[in-house]
Amino acid sequence: MPSPGDDARAERLRRLADARLYLCTPRRAEFSLFLDAVIGPPGRGGVDLVQLREKSLEWSDEVAALRRIQAAGAGQGTLVSANDRADLAAFAGVDILHVGQDDVPPEFARRIVGPDVLIGQSTHSPQEFVRALDDPNVDYVCVGPVHATPTKEGRPPVGLGLPLLAARHAPPFEAGAKPWFVTGGVAPDTLDDILATGARRVVVVRALTDAPDPGAMAADLARRLRAS
């Protein structure tokens, strides 16, 4: 008989499979209003996942910010991700832990967060992508940055070749294919070239955090991704 954890994991995987638009964001002024805008009302379309990414936060501040994201996404099916900190992800009860290549290895993170929390991993080369794709502890993969971006300072862009390779190895929405997202400089004017590689899921930062109307921008990006 499936356990409650099995049910929670299955539901998170279902929502992940349907996801297109992934927001990474630090806290900001009027954070709750911003989150309400980019998640959007039911039926309008907006971000499907929100990751809190602010490296210098104290434990209690990070938990409080994650709670605000959880509250904004309640009832909307929005997945909430912690960054790097497996212990904090387990404590806060988020849906996802995202790790980089230099963070806690997914196998060890799985021991901390348990079986029902999803784990994502960033990759920057074909070798890293294939390794993450084959890792049973990794539930989705990010590839990039495809363009230079100040949010990945010191990380050279990988160009569009890595998404092209990812699309061959894991065609989006093919049965059994692990989900993957393109990161790095994703914006309205770069989205078409990214979609031309076969990618169908993206991570955005400044396209929403710097937008004059974040809600309208989120709705437009979501529409374009779901129409592709």
d(CA 163, CA 49): 20
Which phi and psi angles does 168 have, rounded to 5°?
A: -75, -40
Q: State the pLDDT at residue 5.
A: 54
pLDDT values of the chain reduced to their tens digit, one per residue, 228 residues: 345 557 999 999 999 999 999 999 999 989 999 999 999 988 788 999 999 999 889 999 999 999 999 999 998 999 999 999 999 999 999 999 999 999 999 999 999 999 999 999 999 999 999 999 999 999 999 999 999 887 666 778 999 999 999 999 999 999 999 999 999 999 999 999 999 999 999 999 999 999 999 999 999 999 999 999
Pairing assessment for the beta strands 79-83 and 49-52 based on DSSP bridges: parallel
- Whole-number pLDDT of residue 149: 81
> What backbone phi and psi angles, to 5 degrees, belong to 207?
-55, -25
Decide: 180 and 201 in contact? Cβ < 8 Å.
yes
Tokens standing for residue 200: 């169908």
For residue 134, the tally of other CB atoms under 10 A from its CB is 10
Q: Which pTM does this prediction carry?
A: 0.95
| DSSP one-letter string for 60-118 | HHHHHHHHHHHHHHTTTT-EEEEES-HHHHHHHT-SEEEE-TTSS-HHHHHHHH-SSSE
Q: How high is the pLDDT of residue 67?
A: 96
CA distance 226 to 228: 6
